[in-house]
Amino acid sequence: MFRFKRHGKGKPSQHKQLKKLEDEHQQAKENLSKQLRVNEEKLQEVFKNCSDVVFRYVKGQDGALFLVVYMDGMISSQLLDEHILKGLMRNPHPSEVEDSKVWSDQLNISVGQSKTLSTFEQIPKEIVRANAIVLTEGHDSALALDIKGWDKRALEEPSGESVIRGPREGFSETFRVNTTLIRRRLKTPRLKIEMMNLGELSQTDIGIVYVDGLINPSVLTEVKKRVERIKIDGILESGYVEAFIEDAPFSPFPTVQHTERPDTVVSALLEGKAAVIVDGTPFVLVVPFTFFGGLQASEDAYERFMYGTAIRWVRYLLFTIALFLPSVYVAIISYHPEMVPFNLLLSFAAAREPSPFPTIIETLMMEIIFESLREAGIRLPKLVGPAVSIVGALVLGEAAVQAGLVTAPVVIVVAGTGIASFAVPGYSLGLAYRLLRFPMLILGGVFGLFGVMVGALALLLHLVSLRSFGVPYLAPMAPLVGTGMKDVLWRAPVWMQRVRPKLIVGRTSYHMPKGQKPGPKK
């Protein structure tokens, strides 16, 4: 006979485990004991088998006994020795007072930040956040001292966003270093940084940065709501947060920008956008994010406007080449040879004569080889990677042509496509082009130019339908906003860009007053 399990009731052992967890949680919320030994035993139980947690007793004057608990490697040893331990040794026992929270005011300790803790639940959280805890006999409260002091990486120029003209600083993995880099560029109390913690186990610091009065309140509310609803055990990088807050997770196009450059973040904040800083990573998230924003580099604003405009149009051309060149080539050679000049067609026919594969197969093979070399060059050590990718491309391309597996025009097309894809400033947006190149290639190889047109139309419809925190992805071109076109079709001089992006700010807002066009004095 079949026996069905009863639902709604767990096993007795499970009930005991749940009861034990509830008791431990309730015990953690209890107030601290006035007996120092009791508090120590509870902390020893919480940090059992944690060899980096140090329990250190210090004797002060007239036999005063203090317990200092900290995590080795995450605090400054110099601050601990000179400002805490020596200060406690010179202190008498804090006198009994009615309000036990003010006993810390009697201590001879000088640190930047401190706060009083009254419940046991607060103490482990402060210890893992690199704070030192001071407890004493006869008082049911503790003192948390901020003496963080782990090793930090020196500030360097971001390798993925290098510029010829512009700041050479990049974000680091330390949260406060990143906020300082932004504060140095925006010295105003209107710059707000709202803190929260994500990750049940990691307790990662998250900061939402914006300029009060510039950001659209609806955008700010949406950013906070999406970040606060994240429930996960650990946040290791800003990519975790991006995956939870992006608008279209199944779209190849990113709706959240990530950057390592402080000047890029500050420029976005001045346009009314918001930034999300995640502790432990140099990549800061910026929202809302638009398509044309991904084709712009921070260097465009630092050069003269005519150079910026020319480079921007070259970038648009290279973007088109990176996306459509292989598919258009395959479509023309396979279905529309009459579109090619006769002499060039003869050259293509002569080159294709020894090849045993159709044009689409040749192009797919070379695209896969090129992407493999690019990925191998990234993963290999810096001293070896560029040499392997360059030599590998030369050797494999030449060998493939000599062996008759592919034709020389295909190698030229794939190489030109790869070079064009490197011109896209945003790495995540460049990944979208690399991914979409393959379905466009298949459409061109199967249906000819008709397939390329259908793919381009489907791509355009998809872009028009995208939103990033309520802002149209193709703004300010669709919908058309005349004032915003000064930073899309051409790079207007700085003194002409008076108006902030209206679709992002939500209203008309100005960078500067009129009448600042430079010229000789009359």
Residue 479 lies in a domain: no
Give mean pLDDT, residues 204-231.
94
Nearest to 165, CA basis, from 177, 157, 175: 157
Do 190 and 123 fall into the same domain? no
From 146, 170, 197, the end of a domain falls on: 146
User: How far is Cα 295 from Cα 424, in angstroms, rounded to an integer?
Assistant: 6
Task: Give tens-digit pLDDT for 6-25.
Answer: 444 444 455 555 555 555 54
**CA dist., res. 290 & res. 475, Å (int):** 7
Within this chain, do residues 277 and 315 fall inside the same structural domain, yes or no? no
Q: What does the pLDDT average to over 370-382?
A: 77
- Lowest-confidence segment of 42-56, 92-106, 156-170 by average pLDDT: 92-106
In a domain, 182, yes or no: yes
Residues 174 and 138 in one domain: no
* pLDDT tens, residue by residue, 169-212: 999 999 989 999 999 999 999 999 999 999 988 889 999 999 99
% of the chain with per-residue pLDDT over 70: 87
Residue 97 has pLDDT above 50, yes or no: no
- C-alpha to C-alpha distance for 240 and 234, rounded to whole angstroms: 9
Q: Are 319 and 433 in contact (CB under 8 A)?
A: yes
Is residue 69 within 8 Å of 126, Cβ to Cβ?
no
456 in the same domain as 311: yes
Shared-domain flag, residues 281 and 306: no
- pLDDT score, position 101: 46
Please give, one letter per residue, the 3-state secondary structure of 467-510.
EECCEECCCCCCCCCHHHHHHCCCCCCHHHCCECCHHHHCCCCE
Count Cβ atoms within 10 A of the Cβ of residue 431 and give its class: 0-12 exposed, 13-18 middle, 19 or more buried: middle
Give tens-digit pLDDT for 484-521: 788 888 888 888 888 888 888 888 788 888 888 887 86
Please give the pLDDT value at position 5: 45
Q: 309 and 258: one domain?
A: no
- Residues 70, 170, single domain; the answer is no
Residue 514 lies in a domain: no
Highest mean pLDDT among 117-126, 219-228, 373-382, 495-504: 219-228
| Separation of alpha carbons 412 and 316, rounded Å | 20
- Whether residues 121 and 173 share a domain: the answer is no
- Clarify whether residues 464 and 332 are in a common domain: yes
Instruction: Please report the pLDDT score of residue 217 as a whole number.
Output: 92
**In which band, very low, low, confident or very high, does the pLDDT at 438 lie, cut at 50, 70 and 90?**
very high
Which structural domain, as residue segments, surrounds residue 219?
A: 159-289
Residue 245 pLDDT > 60 = yes
Q: What was the pLDDT predicted at 73?
A: 85
Q: Is residue 169 part of a domain?
A: yes
Identify whether residues 108 and 132 lie together within a single domain.
Answer: yes
Does residue 493 fall inside a structural domain?
A: no
Q: Hey, which of 40-49, 59-68, 491-500 has the most confident mean pLDDT?
A: 40-49
Most confident of 34-48, 132-146, 272-286: 272-286
Give the model's pLDDT for residue 15. 54
| Together in a domain, 386 and 307 | yes
How many structural domains compose the chain?
Answer: 3
Domain assignment present for residue 240? The answer is yes
Instruction: Please check whether residues 51 and 164 belong to one and the same domain.
Output: no
Residue 516 inside a domain? The answer is: no
504 in any annotated domain: no
Q: How many helices (H) and strands (E) does the chain have?
A: 18, 12
The mean pLDDT of the chain is: 84
